[in-house]
A and B are shown apart, each in its own frame.
Chain A
Amino acid sequence: MKRFAALIDRLVYTRSRNSKLALIVDYLKHTPDPDRGWALAALTGALDFPAVKAGTVRALLGARVDDELFRLSRHFVGDTAETAALLWPDSIHPSPSGEGTGVGAIGLAQGIEPPPQTPPLKGRGLSVSEAVDALMAATRSDAPAILASLLDRLDADGRYALLKLALGGMRVGVSARLAKQAFAQAFGVPIDDVEELWHAIPPPYVPLFAWGEGRAPRPDLADVAFFRPFMLAHPLEGESIDLADFAAEWKWDGIRVQLVHGGGETRIYSRGGEEIGAAFPELLAAFDQDAVIDGELLVRGEAQGGAEGGAASFNALQQRLGRKAVTKRMLADYPAFVRVYDLLAVDGNDLRGLPWTERRRQLEAFVLRLAASHFDLSPVIEAPHFEGLATLRAGARDAAIEGVMLKRRDAPYVAGRRAGLWYKWKRDPLVADCVMMYAQRGNGRRASFYSDYTFGCWTDAGELLPVGKAYSGFTDQELKWLDKFVRDHTIDRFGPVREVEKTLVLEVAFDSIHASKRHKSGLAMRFPRIARIRRDKPAEEADRIATLRAMVT
């Protein structure tokens, strides 16, 4: 736990992405199994201990520290786990003044005996895996005692790490993507392989490390519904495209998903490789063919083309996102379907090496095997030439159309964003995917809401710089959600301004963008508004400053 606590500590204070990467790489290289795997799972939020909740921690503290002192401390520190880590009676490093009037005495002063504790096992370090094993075995009734005995074995930094591990919400700015990159870098293996294997192997990823270190062959995924890293598109910036080389499709305004059926199970992965199947049970049930498809998740809407295959706006889809369970009402009001545009594997054959033309041919045949109620084919746009396509794009009024995709006809399906293969050509107005950085409360009716958001885009060096501030474009319901996000993900406060964890992508629409000295990025947007909340999009994939600069008028 000592090494893990030190890692967490360093990550808290390290801002640069590359330095974070270096810290994780070093940890993975020099920590044995299964600790490093559990640590990685904790960092990426892949651990869940149902028996341990924030209430468990508060109750434990309540038995040891006066309520009022806890309240004052929590108010000052701003984080329950950290407050608890600092307040916990120290049995490892007695206070140097040694007067014995520390926090432990507070309970006594109140006439409350500290609850009976198992004597701390001094001189023996607590390992991450020991802690994980103990927390996993915990039930609702014995979780407080188990957690207490673990806390007794640690110092303040160790307690902080343990509580963060137990409660989740590490908030050290490490995404799943960064963790995978660290793994790839630590062991010199391709990131695409790591992406594929990651979801197929549960924590603590022992076979993954064995493969990484060359001690074992690549784990066999034949019987697993594993994730294939998505092929991504570059924005089209002024280039003219020859339609003889590129096929055009509509760019749908939903969320990108991959459906995998194999090894007797079905999974739905979102852009970041997270599993979101639980929120879409109807799709899990309907996707019954041994295949892997890439498509856009949408909900049916009546406004566009009627109930017959029409898709509703992104707002409608949002009702279905981010839910752990889904009600019958939700299923009926917002029926989901997938508009399919690529076929990555079918009947045990990996098609990713084939050119788009061939995959498309097979896809068109394959789609007929799927239930039309839940799957349809994203059509190829027939345009005589690029200018004609531009006219079609400008004329598209469907709210579910975001623009046009251009895909090189002879390109295989490759992970990530490769130059010259796929382009996205978004429709006006200008939009950019930005990352929320700071939030401030509004005025009047919104005085209690964090409704003004400063957002940023990435520099080439991987630094996030503010590009604008917006306080409109969302519904009241979205505002509530955003407000909660801000409060739950605050990492810092500067007077009235809260700095948030840089994980939320906001699609910002704006009329134009200009050079300006107001922001460090040197850019300022005219009339920026929040077009959408992109909970599905990893922050690393938000737009770059360079992309915005190319839009400057």
Chain B
Amino acid sequence: MARTRPWLEPHPHGLYVRPADLWIDPARPVERAAVTHGHADHARSGHHAVFATPETLAIMALRYGVDATAPSNTAVRYGDGFERGGVRFGFHPAGHVLGSAQIAMEYRGERIVVTGDYKRRPDPTCAPFEIVPCDIFITEATFGLPVFRHPPTAGEIAKLLAAVRAEPDRCVLVGAYALGKAQRVIAELRAAGWHAPIYIHGALERMCALYADHGVDLGELRLVSETDKAEMAGQIVLAPPSALNDRWSRRLPDPVAAMASGWMRVRQRARARMVELPLVISDHADWDELTATIAEVNPRESWITHGSEEGLLRWCELTQRSARALHLVGRDLEEEA
């Protein structure tokens, strides 16, 4: 039997669901988009109708001025879905950031799951990843090389706390992506017993407030811009990675430059960012999580989107799993990993 044309088409700027006339995470404005999560390489402004979780819609409203309550937009809760053009859509937690979802689609008896970005380890700021059985599993591969094995988060947080306590005259400035990573680091610090105010760069303020509005307790946050330099000695400061070695950091008391990212696993990467204290904390699945997830979902076929596709493809080949790489454009938000 000749294979019919696939109903989900990979294009460089996104995945197109033909029967539903809908794009998933398109890199340019479209009529109808389903968005997995709020990071800029997945969520863009300018779509006419957006299907996303309420949290993602709120994030898109904050970041891109999308009108979350516009009648053209549809909020889909985890476990809920909708049907369009004969395709049944379902949203499931991806464990990546607040509101992040895997999108499952079923059409004529075939099920495809798009993970967006995801991770498997616990995160106090978002719902945990759910395994959704499927025929075609479309996975990210940011850390698709076996050198990437993120250590336990608690150990990295302990490293951060030890550094703060070791030099009471300095502060530790943690570079953390403004959506997701920053709030997770704060929440992990709270869980580890750090109850002092945490000082933040202005660029993090509104997103932290959004998380708090969604029930994520971040404790007391203070703005660096409204704080005396001396007060921040012996304290923890968070800023977007770009502010790490920027003139902005001059207002801090002799900051120790730290960075929370999965890339910090590789020493030369950390050195390149002039980081003194690398913290391997990532919102993406590491090698073990990626391979374990594919094994667990056990799809007929895996499509690998962005990151180190070659490494994960090779693993699929070695384990006799059918896989192919999709080459999507604009998916390299290195800062966010």
Contact = CB atoms under 8 A, between A and B. Distances in A.
Contact of B270 (A13, A76, A83): A13
A72 B318 CA distance: 15
Contacts of A69: 145-146, 311, 314-315
Contacts of B267: 12-13, 79, 82, 160
Contact of B149 (A12, A78, A95, A110): A95
Contacts of B268: 77-79, 82, 491-493
A90 B287 CA distance: 13
Contacts of B151: 93, 156
Contacts of B311: 69, 72-73
Q: Which of A13, A79, A106 has the most CB of B within 10 A?
A: A13
A68 interface: yes
Contacts, number: 103
A90 B149 contact: yes
A66 B314 contact: yes
Given A73-B145, A90-B149, A494 B314 contact: no
B271 A99 contact: no
B149 A102 contact: yes
B13 interface: no
Contact size class for A? 35 or more
A499 to B, nearest CB: 8
A97 B266 contact: no
Contacts of A100: 292
Interface in B250-294: 265-268, 270-272, 274-278, 286-289, 291-292
A131 interface: no
Contacts of B149: 86, 90, 95, 102-103, 156
A492 B272 contact: yes
A73 B271 CA distance: 18
What is the size category of the interface that chain B forms with chain A? 35 or more
A97 B147 contact: no
Given A73-B147, A77-B266, A102 B314 contact: no
Main secondary structure of the interface of A (DSSP, over half): mixed
A500 to B, nearest CB: 13
Contacts of A95: 149, 286, 288
Contacts of A99: 288-289, 291-292, 295-296
A109 B294 CA distance: 15
Nearest to B275: A13
A65 interface: yes
A493 B272 contact: yes
Contacts of A14: 276
B265 A72 contact: no
- Determine which residue in B149, B152, B289 has the highest number of CB atoms from chain A within 10 A of its CB, and name it: B149
A77 B278 CA distance: 16
A105 B5 CA distance: 36
Interface in A57-115: 65-66, 68-69, 72-73, 76-79, 82-83, 86-87, 90, 93, 95-97, 99-103, 105-106, 109-110
B290 to A, nearest CB: 9
Contact of B318 (A66, A73, A79, A491): A66
Contacts of B270: 13
B146 A87 contact: yes
B310 interface: yes
Contacts of B275: 13
Contact of B145 (A13, A76, A101): A76
B146 A106 contact: yes
B121 A72 contact: no
29 contacts: A13-B270, A13-B271, A13-B276, A13-B277, A66-B318, A69-B146, A69-B315, A73-B145, A73-B147, A76-B308, A78-B268, A87-B146, A96-B150, A96-B152, A97-B120, A99-B289, A99-B291, A99-B295, A100-B292, A101-B288, A101-B291, A102-B146, A102-B149, A109-B319, A156-B151, A160-B267, A492-B272, A493-B272, A494-B272
Interface of A: 12-15, 65-66, 68-69, 72-73, 76-79, 82-83, 86-87, 90, 93, 95-97, 99-103, 105-106, 109-110, 156, 160, 491-494
- Nearest 7 pairs of A and B residues by beta carbon: A99-B292, A86-B147, A95-B288, A101-B291, A109-B318, A103-B146, A73-B147
